[in-house]
Chain A
Amino acid sequence: MLIQHALHGFREVLAPGALGVDPVPWARSQMAFTLAAHIILVPLGVAWAFMALVANWRGLRKHDADALLLAERWSKYMAVTFAVGAVTGTVLTFEFGLLWPRFMDRFGAAFGIPFAVEGLFFFLEAIFVAIYIYGWKRLTPWVHFWSGVPVVVAGIGGTVSVVAANAWMNEPGGFRLNQAGKVVDISPAGIFFNKAMPLETIHMLIAAYLVAGFLIASVYAFAMLRGRRDRYHRLGFLIAFTVAAIATPLQMVVGDELARWVYQNEPTKFAAIEIVPRTARDVPETLFGFITSDGQVRGGIPVPGMASILSDPATGTNTQIRGLASFPKNSRPTDSEANVVHWAWDIMIGIATGLFVLSAWFAVVWWRRRDLPRTRWFLRAASVAGVASVVALESGWVVTEVGRQPWIAHGYMRVKEAATSSSGVWATFLVIVALYAAVAVTLVLILRLMARRFRDHDPTAEHHLPYSPRRRRGVTAGDGKRS
């Protein structure tokens, strides 16, 4: 065919092994990039519906028009973020096959099971989110409210399922390999409820509520700093920030538990987190710093004995921590990967501590006088907290993903054995970076455009009437207008 002749040049470039392009680093980059992009939308998809329902509930129960308006607008923003989240999530589904076909063909029968459950939840979420978003005008108030509840439930179920799949990569279980190396004796419960699953799923679920809360609150904090201190903005801030402020201390407890679980069950990851070169007792907690190629820890601020104490308070400084050097080189993160894990860890903990202080500040002031702290510094801090919480979220994923290296399924398959042989991944990576950058910029612009339009639109005017009687509408005529 003509077209094939025309494509001959491309064929040379994209053929396996052409130009000596190794697909593995490109595949890793593409997966990391698309995951990092998608995870920002996940909290909004999972937790925003809950906050909208809180506002919706208040609006209906207390006849609070501001709360109702807030819920309606939040659902409109959600419509946009949910659409982008749905399609970026679909890309990940493709990428499991496109980038890691050898992993999928060997372990898909096991690894895929949590995704089947997730598919169920995602279907429900997509159905009810549409009913909730588009049902404001014509459904009766409480039917409409309840149509949003499955969105929250499905968001939780979906998060648990996907993170269960990730947990399985950390702690593969619920199957056996036969002599030919094929997956047999599948136990769906063993796969879904693998060893790493309980704590990891709870940690991400709380993270979703925490990040969504701080992210949404930060927008209202910023608006309040700019003088928009009406009840509507205050309510938007309060609902979101309260969710975040409740999630933060819970997350500290779960995170602490999880860290000790990692110490006991994933010693290579833990050695990277604490940059411990050689097995030792009385290990200092080094804040930042890095591990050098000759196995020394340089720089940073060491807190004597602290890593040992935190790993097991019962034995205190006497707690032994296995060092990176005690594992075979091809079964543990490299030194530079360990540094990445360690920095990501410190950033996550540092931000979490800051968010905890902010939450506590809010809680104390609210408890004493039912109001926000009066100083502008509180709002300034709250408007930074949104982005900070996203950084913490990304850092957490860096810890668990880079910390698992070089494995894709810990102990069973390495990343480089899993990758595609298509050397054209560099091209798809570049395309996807450009595409996502364009989508991200546009998404932010669109959300701002919507906010400006909502502001210009006077909610007290005769226009605003949710739950108005059902009418026939037209494509051209004005009878479907928002009035």
Chain B
Amino acid sequence: MTNVVAAILVLGILGYAVFGGADFGAGFWDLVAGGAERGARPRRAIQLAIGPVWEANHVWLIFVLVVLWTSFPETFGSIMLTLFVPLSLAAFGIVLRGSSFAFRKEVSRTSSQRNFGAAFAISSVITPFCLGAVAGAVATGRVPKGGVAGDLWASWLNPTSVLGGVLAVSACAFVAANNLVVEADRFHEPDLSAYFRRRAVGSALVTGVIAVAGIFVLRADAAYLADRLSGVALPIVLVSAACGVGTIVLHRGTTNLRAARAARLLAMGAVVAVVLAWAVGQWPYLLPTSLKIADAAAPRGTLITITVVFAIAALTILPALGWLYWLDQHDFLEAESEAESKSESGAAPEVAPAAKPEPSR
């Protein structure tokens, strides 16, 4: 039973890493898209791409927190006590990101768009960094068991946590770039597809370099995890690397949509494999190496309830989520507000709408 719930927890993290990660990564590309004029078109593609889906993707995080606190309550207490600072920062980041994204969509003046855009983009980087650092803190055993607080700072400002944070940001950027290649193609913007294709390749390389550097960090800082990753979890690590390389090959080789879709799947596969490698890497511990999953679990009644709720969720939410994605990918959903369409309707095609000042009426 405990293992079933642990698997549910991992599935939740996977959902958040892949889908939520793609939204965070889109924010990263928004941040580095350049000035208002130059970055207008990529930003608009990002907005159209994540507009209808980000809230649903965000719920995975709630799911993870709820499963963690019901099924492993004492560990949840330890994590929250120890990692008070990065988790508070992540919560602030989530508020700032969600609201500024929703607000930006409704304003048409460039300066307002820039302000909200900056808030959205910066918080899209801070939040995954903090959550990655939290993962690093857990994986290296810096969170003590028994519902007590560990070191408020060293727990997440250490080599592995920084690695976790940076890796989270770059992996989000990587999966987002691969998604945006397909999305830009869907919007009939071949040059934007190429734009994100270059970024997909670049972020794949950067993520690869960080991962290789990570080997040395983990060797020095987290012996248990490093051993497991180079032992039992090695095949999963290699799958992740292969997926990453696969995306580069696909993007360098061809520019057709089928290849881009395949690359997006591979990118998601790479992120899934990284999260799985982490999970297998610290198995059977919830908090390496002080607390085993089996010893941390809530009473049986709670675990059964969580499993039942998850089964119901799988039957109801997954089809609904599938329908949402299907509608989104087949252009049934319109992510525009009147602000955008207004600025568009009067615009000459080559003038990017987001760069235009408020249109005179």
Contacts and interface: CB of A to CB of B under 8 A. Distances in A.
Interface of A: 1, 3-4, 7, 10-11, 14-16, 76, 79-80, 82-84, 86-91, 93-98, 101-102, 104-110, 112-113, 115-120, 122-124, 126-131, 133-139, 150, 175, 183-188, 420-422, 424, 428, 431-432, 435-436, 439, 442-443, 446, 449-450, 453-454, 456-457, 470-478, 480-483
B67 interface: yes
A117 to B, nearest CB: 6
B262 interface: no
**Which of B67, B99, B105, B321 counts the most chain A CB atoms within 10 A?**
B99
Given A4-B157, A127-B317, A473-B331, A94 B91 contact: yes
A104 B77 contact: yes
B59 A475 contact: no
A442 B84 CA distance: 28
B9 interface: no
B216 interface: no
Given A105-B78, A454-B338, A11 B152 contact: yes
B98 A83 contact: yes
B59 A123 contact: yes
Contact of B69 (A89, A104, A134, A442): A104
26 contacts: A4-B153, A14-B85, A16-B149, A86-B55, A91-B95, A94-B87, A96-B69, A101-B81, A109-B299, A113-B302, A127-B56, A130-B324, A131-B324, A138-B331, A186-B305, A420-B81, A422-B149, A431-B88, A439-B95, A446-B103, A453-B342, A470-B331, A471-B331, A474-B188, A476-B349, A478-B344
A478 B342 CA distance: 10
Contact of B320 (A11, A79, A124): A124
A14 B152 contact: yes
Given A83-B98, A443-B99, A475 B62 contact: no
B302 A110 contact: yes
Contacts of A104: 69, 73, 76-77, 80
Nearest 10 interchain pairs by C-beta: A186-B301, A105-B77, A108-B73, A112-B70, A97-B80, A109-B298, A83-B102, A87-B98, A482-B341, A134-B333
Interface string B146-170: 0101001110011100000000000
Interface string B33-53: 000000001001100100111
A482 B157 contact: no
Contacts of B337: 76
A449 B91 contact: no
Contact of A475 (B45, B52, B76, B302): B45
Nearest to A189: B305
B158 A116 contact: no
A409 to B, nearest CB: 13
Given A91-B94, A439-B99, 4 more contacts: A184-B299, A186-B301, A446-B107, A453-B342
B156 to A, nearest CB: 11
Interface in B296-325: 298-302, 304-306, 309, 312-313, 316-317, 320-321, 323-324
A478 B62 contact: no
Nearest to B60: A123
B350 interface: yes
A480 B341 CA distance: 8
Contacts of A483: 341, 345
Interface of B: 41, 44-45, 48, 51-53, 55-56, 58-59, 61-63, 65-67, 69-71, 73-81, 84-85, 87-88, 90-92, 94-99, 101-103, 105-107, 147, 149, 152-154, 157-159, 184, 187-189, 192, 298-302, 304-306, 309, 312-313, 316-317, 320-321, 323-324, 327, 331-339, 341-342, 344-345, 347, 349-350, 352-353, 361
A160 to B, nearest CB: 15
Contacts of B342: 453, 457, 482
A93 B336 contact: no
A450 to B, nearest CB: 6
A14 B337 CA distance: 44
A126 B80 contact: no
B87 A98 contact: yes
A105 B67 contact: no
A134 B94 contact: no
B313 A120 contact: yes
Given A446-B107, A475-B45, A476-B349, A112 B153 contact: no
B132 to A, nearest CB: 16
**Which of B44, B107, B332, B334 counts the most chain A CB atoms within 10 A?**
B334
A134 B48 CA distance: 11
A173 to B, nearest CB: 13
Contact of B98 (A84, A96, A128, A188): A84
B336 A187 contact: no
A90 B56 contact: no
Contacts of B44: 475-476
A14 B85 CA distance: 10
Contacts of B320: 123-124, 127-128, 150
B45 A106 contact: no
A476 B56 contact: no
A97 B345 contact: no
B339 to A, nearest CB: 7
A303 B58 CA distance: 52
Nearest to B319: A127
Contacts of A16: 149, 152
A481 B345 contact: yes
B303 to A, nearest CB: 9
A421 B334 contact: no
Contacts of B350: 476
B331 A123 contact: no
A217 to B, nearest CB: 23
B302 A87 contact: no
A98 B58 contact: no
Nearest to A96: B69
A96 B70 CA distance: 12
